[in-house]
Each structure stands twice: as structure tokens, then as C-alpha cells.
């Protein structure tokens, strides 16, 4: 259960130690700095298909890395160096200012015991927060948010702009899934005016959902007016750029909501990975950097935490088609105005592999517990299990 990495590794929890010593001084009033009615927001970015974290966050100095990936490895002179061992893929250049500002944590070695290499099963595990051999039906955030006070005036707790809603699906959580907020508002306009919830429990549920649609549509219309200008700065690239721009508009527009989920797909790079992965990371970096700019401009960056996740990383060794196959542990990125920054967790060894796969160093639920702490959820998300929260945020 312990999330403490192997002591022999040099890059262990240095950042965490610092965080813990600083934390008590700042804990007093978590929401003091925030405008009234504007609570904290968690933005989940799904990297669908299994992101090759070994190339997103390359251990460029490790000789085994180049040996395992003669065609794919990011060379030392290309890597954006984070320290003497770890770097970022050159396509992530737009994120370097975020790193330098100390607003981006690079979380290494996330995974879970007895890893599953099926896309569907493993994303299930990540989104429900389950053990490898357990099937849970509710999302990890839905469980962690149970009993949390609702954001004042909110019509929905979570808005899903892309990909599956599993992480935020569960009893009591008001989750609104939409492909496109404008289309959502248009379609909501055609709905029969919802009646007060009542009748049998099935009917009551439908009427409640209709009320949520009506309320959310109303707020989105308002946000569209107020957030438009700020969101203009969030010009990213591709689908993920559009989704993050919508997210920026919703947040800057003052829509009371706790979680926004977006999705960036195409990471299942079994063949010809080099160019494809570079494009995906280019889109991701441009979109995240644009999103941050919009949030800084609107004064919302301090109440936002962005975190990426994916069903798995990829195998240490490249395959015969210039790609990589399904793997296990992976690095992820977290950023925000009050994110601590730095390297967190531990980079898995490239010589001590488990059947060719990385051994995870930090349970992914430690990462989630950091998000639960950020959202100030009851019990700090202990419902996810006895995992030590990673120190991602400045109190």
C-alpha cells in the first residue's frame, strides 16, 4: 500500500519533503484568496489511448533509454532538461515557462499493482480508482466528492467536454456531459420546460436531469458573454485546444463548477510513433499554455489545477514498427497557479523491468488524493484508500 519509493533511487520525493515542511504555515484559510462564490476547479485532461510517457518525460541521461529505443528516444541535446536526469519532449516547449514559473509538477512513475494492459479495462481502473482485479461502478471523483458541500449557485458539479464521464459518475454528483456547449445550449432550448421533480424514482431522476440541463444552459449562456474575451487568449490546437478554450470560457465566465473534464485522443501509437506523438504533444502543449494564459489574464489561475491521466504508459522497448506497445507506469503533468512545481514521485528503473514493463513507483491514487486535497474534499479523499497524497499544491 505504501507509496514511498525505493530508497535507493536518487530522485525520490525530494520535492515532497520540501512541501511538507512548508505546508503548515499556509494551511489556514484555503479559500481566503478566492473571490466569493468562485471555488476551486479541477481540470482533468485524459490522454486517451495510452500516452508514451517515456517520450513525453524522457530519462534522457539514462544509457538504457537510448538502447531500448534506438529509433524513438529523445536525445540529450533535444530534451528540455528539467534536471540532470529527466527532461521534456521538445514539443512541450510552450510549457517550459510554466515549469520555470514553478507552476507545473511532473509526476513520475504512476501506476498500480498487477497492471492490466487492455485499454478498456485499464481506463476503467484509472477512472473508477479501483484495484486491478476489482470492478467498481462509480468514478473515483464521484466517491471522493460524496458529502462535499456544493459550490454556491452551481447547477452542476462536473462538466465533461470530452471523452467518457466515468471518473465523475456516481450517486449525488451532478455531472453534465456535453460535446459542445453551444450545441448544448441550443438543444436545451428545445426541451420541454422541466417540471418539478416528482413521481416514481425513475421519473424523478429524469426531471432532475432536465433541471440540471436548464440550469447549466442558463449559466453557460452567461459565461459565454462574460468569459469570451478571456477565453480568446486560450487559442490552442486541435480538438484539445477547442475543449480547453471552452473550459477557459466556463471558468472565466464564473460558472460555479468543481470539475471540468477534457480529452485528447490518439495516443495508441503502435507504429510510426515519432511524428504522431510529436503532433499530439505539440497540440497538448499549445492548448495547455493557451489555457493557462487565459486563466492568468482572467485572474482565475490560482483556483485551477490541471491534471493529466491516461490508461497506461507504454513498453520500455520500442517495437518493430517504429512504435510502442501497451505498457504500465507513466509520468503525468499537473499545473496551476497554486501548484508547487518540480519533479514528484520516482522514475522507474529501465534495467529492473517486469517482463519488459516499468514498475510503478507511486500508486495513482496518491495522485488522486492530491486532487482531493486541492478540492478540500471531506477526509481528503481517504475513501480512495490509504494512499499518501502527493504534495502537488501549495496548501
Partner 1 sequence: MLIFQRAAACLALLGALWAAPAAALTYDEARHLLNRTGFGATNAEIEAMLPLSRREAVERLFEGRRSEPVSPAPEWLNSPIRPPKRMKMMSDAERKKYRRARRDMATGLQAWWLAEMAATPSPFTERMTLFWHNHFTSSLRKVKVPHLMYGQNLTLRRYAFGNFRHFVQAMAQDPAMIWYLDNRTNRKGQPNENFARELMELFTLGEGQYSEKDIKESARAFTGWSLDRNTGKFRFYPRLHDDGPKTFMGQSGRFNGHEIIDIIFRHPEASRYIVAKMWRGFVSETPDKAEVERIAAEFRESKFSIRAAMTAILTSNAFWDPKTRGALVKSPVDLLVGTVRTFEAPMKNPRFLVRVSARLGQNIMSPPNVKGWPGGKAWITADTMLMRQQVIAALTGGGGAPQGKQQSMEPPKPTRTAGSGNAKRDMRVFQRTGRMPAGANFKAWLAQLPARNKTAGGLAALLLPIDPVRPIPPGADPAAAVRHLLNDPAYQLK
What is the closest distance, in whole angstroms, from the C-beta atom of residue 369 to partner 1 in the complex?
24
Q: Where are the alpha helices (DSSP H) in 160-235?
A: 181-189, 201-232
Identify the residue among 72, 98, 188, 330 touching partner 1 (CB under 8 A). Answer: 188
Q: Considering only residues 321-340, where is the footprint of partner 1 by CB under 8 A?
A: 321
Question: Which stretch of DSSP H or E encloses residue 109?
Answer: strand 104-111
> Does 351 sit near partner 1 (CB under 8 A)?
no
> Does 316 sit near partner 1 (CB under 8 A)?
no
Helix (H, G, I), strand (E, B) or coil at 176: strand
283 contacts 264 by C-beta, under 8 angstroms: yes
> Does 213 sit near partner 1 (CB under 8 A)?
yes
Identify the residue among 67, 71, 75, 179 touching partner 1 (CB under 8 A). Answer: 179
> Does 260 sit near partner 1 (CB under 8 A)?
no
> Whose Cβ is closer to partner 1: residue 187's or residue 351's?
187
For 7, the grid coordinates are 530508497
How far, in Å, CA of 208 to CA of 159, rounded? 16
CA quadruple 379, 380, 383, 385: dihedral, nearest 10:
-120
Question: Which stretch of DSSP H or E encloses residue 42?
Answer: strand 41-48
Q: How many residues bind partner 1 (CB under 8 A)?
A: 41
> Whose Cβ is closer to partner 1: residue 52's or residue 212's?
212
- Altogether, the residues listed in the chain come to a count of 395
> Does 66 sit near partner 1 (CB under 8 A)?
no
160 contacts 259 by C-beta, under 8 angstroms: no
> Does 132 sit near partner 1 (CB under 8 A)?
no
How far, in Å, CA of 26 to CA of 393, rounded? 11
How far, in Å, CA of 317 to CA of 323, rounded? 9
What is the closest distance, in whole angstroms, from the C-beta atom of residue 282 to partner 1 in the complex?
23
What is the closest distance, in whole angstroms, from the C-beta atom of residue 394 to partner 1 in the complex?
34
Identify the residue among 209, 232, 296, 395 touching partner 1 (CB under 8 A). Answer: 209
> Does 182 sit near partner 1 (CB under 8 A)?
no
> Whose Cβ is closer to partner 1: residue 25's or residue 202's?
202
308 phi, psi to nearest 5 deg: -95, 155
47 contacts 309 by C-beta, under 8 angstroms: yes
Identify the residue among 203, 356, 379, 386 touching partner 1 (CB under 8 A). Answer: 203
Q: Strand 87-88 to strand 80-81: parallel, antiparallel, or no bridges (unpaired)?
A: antiparallel
Q: How many CA atoms lie within 13 A of 132 on its CB side?
A: 11
Question: Which stretch of DSSP H or E encloses residue 241?
Answer: helix 238-252
> Does 178 sit near partner 1 (CB under 8 A)?
yes
Name the one range near partner 1 by CB under 8 A: 45-53, 131-139, 240-248, 308-316: 131-139
Q: Strand 41-48 to strand 304-309: parallel, antiparallel, or no bridges (unpaired)?
A: parallel
> Whose Cβ is closer to partner 1: residue 67's or residue 121's?
121
What is the closest distance, in whole angstroms, from the C-beta atom of residue 120 to partner 1 in the complex?
6
Identify the residue among 8, 21, 27, 200 touching partner 1 (CB under 8 A). Answer: 200
How far, in Å, CA of 200 to CA of 215, rounded? 22
> Whose Cβ is closer to partner 1: residue 194's or residue 378's?
194
Give the binding site for partner 1 (CB under 8 A).
118, 120-121, 124, 133, 135, 137, 156, 160, 165, 169, 175-179, 184, 187-188, 190-192, 194-195, 199-203, 205-207, 209-210, 212-213, 216, 271-272, 320-321
Amino acid at each position: 500500500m505504501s507509496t514511498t519509493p525505493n530508497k535507493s533511487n536518487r530522485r525520490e520525493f525530494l520535492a515532497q519533503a520540501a512541501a511538507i515542511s512548508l505546508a503548515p504555515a499556509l494551511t489556514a484559510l484555503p479559500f481566503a484568496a478566492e473571490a466569493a462564490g468562485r471555488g476551486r476547479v479541477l481540470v482533468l485532461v485524459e490522454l486517451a489511448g495510452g500516452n508514451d510517457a517515456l517520450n513525453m518525460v524522457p530519462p534522457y541521461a539514462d544509457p538504457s533509454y537510448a538502447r531500448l529505443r534506438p529509433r524513438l528516444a529523445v536525445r540529450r541535446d533535444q530534451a528540455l532538461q528539467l534536471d540532470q536526469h529527466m527532461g521534456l519532449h521538445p514539443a512541450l516547449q510552450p510549457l517550459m515557462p510554466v515549469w520555470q514559473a514553478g507552476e507545473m509538477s511532473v509526476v513520475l512513475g504512476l501506476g498500480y499493482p498487477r497492471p492490466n494492459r487492455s485499454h478498456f479495462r485499464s481506463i476503467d481502473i484509472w477512472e473508477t480508482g479501483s484495484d486491478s482485479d476489482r470492478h467498481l461502478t462509480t468514478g473515483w471523483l464521484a466517491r471522493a466528492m460524496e458529502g462535499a458541500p456544493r459550490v454556491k449557485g452551481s447547477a452542476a458539479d462536473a462538466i465533461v467536454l470530452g471523452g467518457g464521464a466515468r471518473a465523475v459518475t456516481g450517486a449525488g454528483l451532478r455531472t453534465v456531459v456535453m460535446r459542445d456547449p453551444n450545441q448544448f445550449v441550443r438543444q436545451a432550448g428545445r426541451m420541454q420546460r422541466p417540471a418539478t421533480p416528482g413521481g416514481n424514482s425513475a421519473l424523478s431522476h429524469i426531471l432532475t436531469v432536465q433541471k440540471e440541463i436548464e440550469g447549466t444552459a442558463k449559466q453557460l449562456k452567461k459565461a459565454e458573454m462574460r468569459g469570451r474575451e478571456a477565453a480568446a487568449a486560450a487559442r490552442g490546437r486541435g480538438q484539445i485546444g477547442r475543449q480547453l478554450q471552452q473550459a477557459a470560457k466556463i471558468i472565466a465566465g464564473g460558472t460555479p463548477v468543481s470539475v471540468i473534464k477534457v480529452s485528447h485522443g490518439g495516443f495508441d501509437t503502435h507504429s510510426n510513433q515519432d511524428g504522431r506523438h510529436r503532433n499530439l504533444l505539440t497540440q497538448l502543449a499549445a492548448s495547455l499554455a493557451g489555457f493557462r494564459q487565459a486563466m492568468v489574464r482572467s485572474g482565475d489561475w490560482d483556483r485551477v489545477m490541471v491534471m493529466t491521466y491516461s490508461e497506461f504508459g507504454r513498453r520500455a522497448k520500442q517495437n518493430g514498427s517504429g512504435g510502442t506497445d501497451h505498457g504500465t507506469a507513466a509520468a503525468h503533468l499537473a499545473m496551476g497557479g497554486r501548484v508547487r512545481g518540480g519533479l514528484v514521485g520516482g522514475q522507474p528503473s529501465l534495467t529492473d523491468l517486469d517482463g519488459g514493463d516499468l514498475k510503478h513507483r507511486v500508486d495513482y491514487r496518491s495522485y488522486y488524493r492530491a486532487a482531493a486535497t486541492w478540492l478540500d474534499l471531506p477526509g481528503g479523499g481517504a475513501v480512495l484508500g490509504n494512499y499518501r497524497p502527493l504534495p502537488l499544491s501549495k496548501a
